[in-house]
Structure 1
Amino acid sequence: MLDAVKDILLQILSASSFIFLFQWWLDQSHIIRRNRQFPDDQALLIICCAISITLCTIFSTTLFGVVYLNLAILPAYIGILYGNFRSGISLAAFFMLCTALFSVPPGIGNMVVNTGVLMYPLLLGFVRPFKKGKIIQKIGMLWAILAPSMLFIVLMPKMNGKNIYETLSADTFLVTVYLFITVMLGGLFIFCIETAWDRLQIKEQMKGISEKFKLESEKLQQITDAVQLNIMSMDDSGYVTELNEFMLKLIHRHYPELTRETIMSQPAGQLFRKYIDEQTYSRLENIVRSKQRTNAKITCATSTYQIYTEPLLRDSGIPGGVVMIVQDLTEEAKLRSELDNVERLTLVGQMAAGITHEIRNPMAVVRGFLQLMREKSPGELDSYYQIVMDELDRANAIINDFLSLAQTRVSDKEMVQLHLIVEELSPLIWADANLRGQSIELRLNPSLPLLMLNVREIKQLVLNLARNGMEAMDPKGVLTLETRVNEDRVELMIKDTGGGISTSQIENLFVPFFTTKNHGTGLGLSLCLSIAERHNGKIAVESQEGVGTVFTVSFPFEKEESAATTRLLK
């Protein structure tokens, strides 16, 4: 009796092996479906069933020497139902081969009954409705085929004339239990397989949802990183949960040692506490904790920020955090202040220009009467009159330069080549240089493109820069004037061999009334810069003390437009 129980338990373990093996195989997550009609997980199930059939057949025996004990019929039937026609025929043939090799039931008839061959056509017919059915329907289909097959197996001894069921004995009870357990195991195996597949399906769905969520999160992060605003989100406690790249750069401006991970492990208010006063910190804390839409401006160190907050709502509509957008207004505030200064200076300049214009008229009258008085005065007073008249002329020159600098009207321009203007001025520059004992070197490019210039203003610019260079040189100094094309700009270079200019002086060189000379108004270079800017040009200065200075005036030009204009003029 005990041996019979052990044999039944061994068969149960052998028959269950395909369930454990199949579930373990599914959990490895190495399954890739290649065929929709016969997916790999079904193929694995067939293989596991074949292994279980082999084990059950090897350990097959008989109960009490008459009832055939081999639960391989369970994995065989289940494998056929879950497979297709080809795999079902193959598994049935494999079952019969294992029975012939490892188990020897007496007679061909016994072998046909013990392997359930008579039920194979019915099994193959149930394959399609079995796969479409629900779990209860599948268990019912298996029981409808398995119960008669097991009944045939346990009644086979009686059919052979061995009446072991005539009395209600322990042996009969054990055989009945064996029959019941086998049928119940079939239903349990179906349940385990369906559960394993459902778990695999849920796992794949969760993986897909997780990947989709990850992709959407990355996409959202890319969008927030692309927005040129500082964005940060916080939870109910005010701790940072997410931030974009611009916010990270803003925080690094004050805390360069912090990483994204360390930032997201502390309250948002702590990030700026070091640089703001207690009142501003309390205000920032209230903004974050209010979980309401707010709009406030705060000052942190030397920077000004505009802070916008918007509550993050849960499904129930209750605030579950807040998103904060920080806009840096520091540069905007500086530009606004500079613009206000420019507007005030413009107004002052316009007023000064009007005043100086009115001053010229009485100065002209004063100078005229001084000349009359000089003619009627003794000769020894001529030197005094000359000093007064020279100072009046100097004041008039300052007024003229100031009016030119304050000029806002649009000047008349024409298409002209820059080197022609320099050639036209060269005799005047040569004459000035000869008086100083200096020399002039011209390096003019005759193939310069045409530019839209005001000839009178450009002459004034060239003369001012040339005379500045000559005044900076000693006798026998050399002044070089060169024109050239540099990519999309025409350049005029005026180079002297004077003493050079210090770096501190270069920074203030174009500031009105700033001068490095013992005499002069300090308006010449400011006027030159004003003329260049009215032509969309620039002036660059390079200087080396003891070597000399180079002023480079550059004007932009459109290559195609300039070439077309040149062809028309020709």
Structure 2
Amino acid sequence: MLDAVKDILLQILSASSFIFLFQWWLDQSHIIRRNRQFPDDQALLIICCAISITLCTIFSTTLFGVVYLNLAILPAYIGILYGNFRSGISLAAFFMLCTALFSVPPGIGNMVVNIGVLMFPLLFGFVRPFKKGKIIQKIGVLWAVLAPSMLFIVLVPKMKGRNIYETLSADTLLVTLYLFITIMLGGLFIFCIETAWDKLQIKEQMKGISEKFKLESEKLQQITDAVQLNIMSMDDSGYVTELNEFMLKLIHRHYPELTRETIMSQPAGQLFRKYIDEQTYSRLENIVRSKQRTNAKITCATSTYQIYTEPLPQDSGIPGGIVMIVKDLTEEAKLRSELDNVERLTLVGQMAAGITHEIRNPMAVVRGFLQLMREKSPGELDSYYQIVMDELDRANAIINDFLSLAQTRVSDKEMVQLHLIVEELSPLIWADANLRGQSIELRLNPSLLLLMLNVREIKQLVLNLARNGMEAMDPKGVLTLETRVNEDRVELMIKDTGGGISTSQIENLFVPFFTTKNHGTGLGLSLCLSIAERHNGKIAVESQEGVGTVFTVSFPFEKEENAATTRLLK
């Protein structure tokens, strides 16, 4: 009796081996899946079933020398139901081979009975509905083929005249228990396999969700890094949990030594503690602590920031932190201040232009009466009259320059070559140079492209720059005027051999009323820049003290427009 119990337990362990082996292999995550039906897992299940069949068949025996004891029928039937047709045929053939080699007692008749060959057609017919069914339905399908097979195995001895069921003995109870355990084990094995696959599927789904969540988190981080906003999130305690690159750069502006890891290990309020006053710090700390939507403006050192906060709700609806968006308003505030100044200056300029225009009329009257008085006065007073008239002329010239600088009307332009304008002005420039004992050198390019220019304004620009150069030189100085093409621009270079201009003075050359001359108005270069800008041009200055200065005026041109205009002129 004890030996029979040991044999049954050994068979149970051998039959269960494919479940343990299958579960262990799944836990190792060695399987590479190709689709949702887990074909690799099914192949592994067939292999595990074959191993279990081998073990059960090797340890097969008989109970009390009558009932065949071999639970290989469990892994064989389960493997056939879970596999495809080819793997099922192979597993059935392997089951038959093992039974033929190790069955007790031997013989074809015993082999046919012990493996339930008669149930194979029904078993293969149940494969398709088995795979489509739920777990209870699968257990029912297995029992439908397993119960008849096991009953046939148990009842065969009675058919052969070796009846052990005539009396209700311990042997009869043990055989009945064996039959019941076998059927229950089949259902338990199906449950274990389905549970293992469900866990595997859940694991795969969780892995996919985790990878998707990680990918979405990375995308979100890339988006926050790409958006030109300073974004930072904090937990319930006010500690920094995440920040984007723009926020990191903003913090580095005040704390260049801090790393991302250092920032994320301290409260957000500490980041601004050093550069803000106590009242602003308390206000900022209250914003973070309240975890409410806020919109506040703070000043940190010399910078101004607009702070937006929004609470982050958890699944239960309880605030789970806060996100802060910081907008740097420093440049905007400066620009707004400059625009206000520009508006005020524009208004002042318009008023001044109107006033200066009205001043010219009484000045003309005063000059006219001075001339009449000069004619009727003694000759010794001529010098005094001349001083007053010169000063009036000088004041009138200043007014003319100021009005030219303040005008905003659109000038009339025409297609013309720049070197022709310089050639027209060359006699006047030569005359001024001769009076000063200086010389002029012209390097004009006759193949310059046509430009849309206002000839009168360009003449004024050239004369102003040429006379500035001559005033900066001593006698014997040389003034060079050169025209050339540089990529997509036509350039006019006016070079003198004067004393040069210092770097600090170059920065303020085009500021109105700034001058390096003793009797200058400070409007000449401002007027030149205004003219150049009205022609979409630029003025560059290069100077070396003791050597000279070069003013380069450049104008853009369009090759296609030039080609079309040249064809029309021809």
Both proteins in one fold, TM over 0.5: yes
Alpha-carbon distance, 1:526 to partner: 1.2
Deviations 1:86-119 (A, max 9, x none): 2211110011112223445322111111122221
Secondary structure class of the residue paired with 2:325: strand
Alpha-carbon distance, 1:33 to partner: 4.0
Alpha-carbon distance, 1:147 to partner: 2.2
Contact 2:142 2:187 in 1 (8 A): yes
Report the more deviating stretch, 233-242 or 516-525. Answer: 233-242
Alpha-carbon distance, 1:22 to partner: 1.4
Unaligned 5+ residue runs, structure 2? none
When residues 420 and 73 of structure 1 are mapped into structure 2, their CA distance, relative to the original with a 3 A threshold, is: same
Alpha-carbon distance, 1:166 to partner: 4.1
Report the more deviating stretch, 207-216 or 183-192. Answer: 207-216
Q: Distance in 2 between matches of 1:258 and 1:12?
A: 66
Alpha-carbon distance, 1:501 to partner: 1.2
Secondary structure class of the residue paired with 2:449: coil
Q: Distance in 2 between matches of 1:451 and 1:105?
A: 115
Deviations 1:382-401 (A, max 9, x none): 33333333333222222222
Q: Distance in 2 between matches of 1:58 and 1:446?
A: 110
When residues 464 and 126 of structure 1 are mapped into structure 2, their CA distance, relative to the original with a 3 A threshold, is: same
Alpha-carbon distance, 1:435 to partner: 2.9
Alpha-carbon distance, 1:314 to partner: 4.5
When residues 36 and 319 of structure 1 are mapped into structure 2, their CA distance, relative to the original with a 3 A threshold, is: closer
When residues 198 and 549 of structure 1 are mapped into structure 2, their CA distance, relative to the original with a 3 A threshold, is: same
- Equivalent in the alignment of 1:481: 481
When residues 252 and 38 of structure 1 are mapped into structure 2, their CA distance, relative to the original with a 3 A threshold, is: closer
Alpha-carbon distance, 1:317 to partner: 5.0
- Equivalent in the alignment of 1:355: 355
When residues 546 and 60 of structure 1 are mapped into structure 2, their CA distance, relative to the original with a 3 A threshold, is: farther
Alpha-carbon distance, 1:201 to partner: 1.4
Unaligned 5+ residue runs, structure 1? none
Alpha-carbon distance, 1:165 to partner: 4.1
Alpha-carbon distance, 1:83 to partner: 1.4
Contact 1:449 1:566 in 2 (8 A): no
Secondary structure class of the residue paired with 1:344: helix
Alpha-carbon distance, 1:319 to partner: 4.1
Q: Distance in 2 between matches of 1:501 and 1:7?
A: 112
Report the more deviating stretch, 432-441 or 52-61. Answer: 432-441
Contact 2:481 2:493 in 1 (8 A): yes
Report the more deviating stretch, 392-401 or 312-321. Answer: 312-321
Alpha-carbon distance, 1:463 to partner: 0.9
Report the more deviating stretch, 497-506 or 168-177. Answer: 168-177
Alpha-carbon distance, 1:36 to partner: 7.0
When residues 375 and 15 of structure 1 are mapped into structure 2, their CA distance, relative to the original with a 3 A threshold, is: same
Q: Distance in 2 between matches of 1:168 and 1:316?
A: 64
Alpha-carbon distance, 1:199 to partner: 0.8
Deviations 1:482-501 (A, max 9, x none): 22233332222212222221
Report the more deviating stretch, 466-475 or 57-66. Answer: 57-66
When residues 274 and 189 of structure 1 are mapped into structure 2, their CA distance, relative to the original with a 3 A threshold, is: same
Alpha-carbon distance, 1:38 to partner: 7.8
Alpha-carbon distance, 1:164 to partner: 4.0
Deviations 1:275-324 (A, max 9, x none): 21111111122223333332221111111122223333445555444333
Alpha-carbon distance, 1:375 to partner: 3.7
Report the more deviating stretch, 314-323 or 431-440. Answer: 314-323
Alpha-carbon distance, 1:554 to partner: 1.7
Q: Distance in 2 between matches of 1:477 and 1:544?
A: 16
Report the more deviating stretch, 504-513 or 477-486. Answer: 477-486
Deviations 1:122-146 (A, max 9, x none): 1111111111222122112212222
Contact 1:110 1:156 in 2 (8 A): no
Alpha-carbon distance, 1:25 to partner: 2.2
Secondary structure class of the residue paired with 2:274: helix
Contact 2:310 2:324 in 1 (8 A): yes
When residues 568 and 27 of structure 1 are mapped into structure 2, their CA distance, relative to the original with a 3 A threshold, is: farther
When residues 407 and 243 of structure 1 are mapped into structure 2, their CA distance, relative to the original with a 3 A threshold, is: same
Contact 1:38 1:83 in 2 (8 A): no
Contact 1:416 1:452 in 2 (8 A): yes
Deviations 1:447-474 (A, max 9, x none): 3332222111111111111111122223
Report the more deviating stretch, 191-200 or 482-491. Answer: 482-491
Report the more deviating stretch, 135-144 or 315-324. Answer: 315-324
Contact 2:303 2:328 in 1 (8 A): yes
Report the more deviating stretch, 87-96 or 341-350. Answer: 341-350
Q: Distance in 2 between matches of 1:274 and 1:8?
A: 80
Contact 2:68 2:104 in 1 (8 A): no
- Equivalent in the alignment of 2:497: 497
Contact 1:449 1:563 in 2 (8 A): no
Q: Distance in 2 between matches of 1:321 and 1:373?
A: 89
When residues 290 and 35 of structure 1 are mapped into structure 2, their CA distance, relative to the original with a 3 A threshold, is: closer
When residues 204 and 471 of structure 1 are mapped into structure 2, their CA distance, relative to the original with a 3 A threshold, is: same
Q: Distance in 2 between matches of 1:127 and 1:305?
A: 71
Aligned pairs, how many? 570
Q: Distance in 2 between matches of 1:436 and 1:129?
A: 115
Alpha-carbon distance, 1:241 to partner: 3.7
Secondary structure class of the residue paired with 1:273: coil
Deviations 1:22-63 (A, max 9, x none): 122223334344477782222221111112112222222333
Deviations 1:318-351 (A, max 9, x none): 5444333322211111111111111111222222
Contact 1:15 1:53 in 2 (8 A): yes
Report the more deviating stretch, 2-11 or 65-74. Answer: 2-11
1:27-426 → structure 2 map (5 Å cutoff): 27-34=27-34, 39-103=39-103, 105-314=105-314, 317-426=317-426
Secondary structure class of the residue paired with 1:119: helix
Deviations 1:404-439 (A, max 9, x none): 222222222222222221121122222222333333
Q: Distance in 2 between matches of 1:257 and 1:192?
A: 58
Q: Distance in 2 between matches of 1:230 and 1:49?
A: 61
Secondary structure class of the residue paired with 1:295: strand
Report the more deviating stretch, 301-310 or 216-225. Answer: 216-225
- Equivalent in the alignment of 2:468: 468
Deviations 1:493-544 (A, max 9, x none): 2122222211111111111222223332222111111111222222111112
Q: Distance in 1 between matches of 2:462 and 2:434?
A: 18
Q: Distance in 1 between matches of 2:465 and 2:388?
A: 29
When residues 29 and 483 of structure 1 are mapped into structure 2, their CA distance, relative to the original with a 3 A threshold, is: farther
Alpha-carbon distance, 1:368 to partner: 3.2
Report the more deviating stretch, 482-491 or 325-334. Answer: 482-491
Secondary structure class of the residue paired with 1:199: helix
TM-score with structure 1 length normalisation? Answer: 0.93
Alpha-carbon distance, 1:235 to partner: 3.5
Q: Distance in 1 between matches of 2:479 and 2:21?
A: 96
Contact 2:57 2:103 in 1 (8 A): yes
TM-score with structure 2 length normalisation? Answer: 0.93
Q: Distance in 2 between matches of 1:358 and 1:119?
A: 122
Q: Distance in 1 between matches of 2:440 and 2:47?
A: 100
Secondary structure class of the residue paired with 1:522: coil
Report the more deviating stretch, 388-397 or 193-202. Answer: 388-397
Q: Distance in 1 between matches of 2:39 and 2:112?
A: 31
Q: Distance in 1 between matches of 2:284 and 2:124?
A: 74
When residues 404 and 225 of structure 1 are mapped into structure 2, their CA distance, relative to the original with a 3 A threshold, is: same
Secondary structure class of the residue paired with 2:295: strand
Q: Distance in 1 between matches of 2:75 and 2:120?
A: 13
Report the more deviating stretch, 298-307 or 150-159. Answer: 150-159
Q: Distance in 2 between matches of 1:267 and 1:433?
A: 73
Deviations 1:242-276 (A, max 9, x none): 43333333223223333444434433322222221
Check if 1:18 corresponds to 2:18.
Answer: yes
Q: Distance in 2 between matches of 1:9 and 1:439?
A: 123
Contact 1:15 1:71 in 2 (8 A): yes
Alpha-carbon distance, 1:167 to partner: 4.3
Q: Distance in 2 between matches of 1:91 and 1:451?
A: 93
Q: Distance in 2 between matches of 1:461 and 1:177?
A: 117
Contact 2:103 2:111 in 1 (8 A): no
